[in-house]
Amino acid sequence: MSGFSPEFRLLAACCRWPEDEARAAAITAAAAGPLDWQQFERLALRHRVVPLAARGIRGRDGVPAEVAARLAARASAEAVQGLALTAETLRLQGLFNAAGLPLTVAKGVPLALLAYGNVGLKTSRDIDLLTERACMLPAARLLEANGYRSLVGDEGILTEAGLEHALAFEKDVSFVHRQNGHIVELHFALARVAQLLPSLADHIPTQEVRLGARPIRTLESGAYYAYLCLHGIRHTWGRLKWLTDVNALLRSGVGDVAALHARATAEGIPRLSLVALSLAHEVFGLEVPPVLLAEARRSLPVRIMVASARRSLREWDGSDQWSERSMIRQRLNQLLYLEDAAYVRSMLRMIWADDPDLRGLHPPAGRALGYHLLRVPSWIWRMSRRALSRKLGRRGK
């Protein structure tokens, strides 16, 4: 793990899973040298792995009592939040079942159960639900009737025009509960581009994960792995929590690493799987077949994406916002996902046309050039807003 700070290396050791002798030895080795414990605490918050960080340093000599206490308190609060999201996930699944609407729960509670066997070890901020495209409006009405408001549309109601926008630019619509603040992302697809996860666009293989006597319908393990590889690279693996989840899932016995890579290859994303495996091998010591590591080293696109991920993992400017450099890397990496000319063309069109400040514009026929001319000043304005926001945020601390 050359290039990473001692504090990051300790955090990564705490995030290794399962809790075995190798994890304990890694934590002991990483904690041996001088450490900036406040930086360790900040990194745990930044990478959203507080429960694992608190568990890893618990009872160890040399840890400042105040740091251990703050992390333990935050971990307890996140465990309570996890239980609340678990109860809400079960409630929503019951509502969808009663209404006869198809529903698959992605990430969140079922992933925590599959990977860790414990909903309190995975930090979650929202609930990801997947339904069929044709069921989006009925599903939205169900959520709205049960305390949620849409973040797309007027007065918290998802309109047909708002859904049309989402179908054109996104793969989900976000809702927030009016009272408890729970966030639900209602997905109609796992990927925005048809060439990514193509077989999962028409049929989602599922399994049931049980929480006591209650089953939760979620993605089948091979589909889960492929989806997590895509989800992580979309953010250039900028938070350790995403890589931690992949590593824990692979070590949980859901399947052989080579077989899961073959499944990702069948889903059209062999490069993305090689990136995930290379990073998990480097950061967590995951055992990866040498032939796959050699394949990753031979691939220039994979090496570029791994290097981008390492930079994103190291990058931290004192805020919880992505920097412009990181966002640019995300965009450039998207062009490397597949070795397919049609995919690259579609991604270039999407990168150029997908401007959040201009999505509401519908230029008249023959006047589309005006939209594209506005792209540059819109990007400059958005970049300036983010830079100013970060600067003001640092001043306020």
- CA neighbor of 140 nearest in space, from 118, 157, 124: 157
Bridge partners of 327?
A: none
Q: CA-to-CA distance for 85 and 308, rounded, in angstroms?
A: 32
The torsion of the CA quartet 232, 234, 235, 240, rounded to 10 degrees, works out to 10
Taking only the tens of pLDDT, the chain with its 397 residues reads 788 999 999 999 999 999 999 999 999 999 998 999 999 999 999 999 999 999 999 999 999 999 999 999 999 999 999 999 999 999 999 999 999 999 999 999 999 999 999 999 999 989 999 999 999 999 999 999 999 999 987 788 998 888 987 887 789 999 999 999 999 999 999 998 878 998 888 788 999 999 988 999 999 999 999 999 999 999 899 999 999 999 999 999 888 999 999 999 999 999 999 999 999 999 999 999 999 999 999 999 999 999 999 999 987 644 555 566 677 788 888 889 998 888 888 777 776 665 555 455 555 555 555 655 566 676 666 667 666 666 665 555 4
Q: CA-to-CA distance for 3 and 315, rounded, in angstroms?
A: 11
Q: CA-to-CA distance for 303 and 395, rounded, in angstroms?
A: 37
Maximum alpha-carbon separation in the chain:
70
DSSP string, 274-286: HHHHHHHHHHH--
Residue listed under structure tokens 């000599």: 61
Backbone φ, ψ for residue 131 (5° rounding):
-130, 180
Q: What is the reported pTM?
A: 0.87
Contact 54, 72 (CB under 8 A): yes
> Rounded to whole angstroms, what are the CA distances from 94 to 326, 349, 353?
39, 40, 39
Q: CA-to-CA distance for 146 and 140, rounded, in angstroms?
A: 10
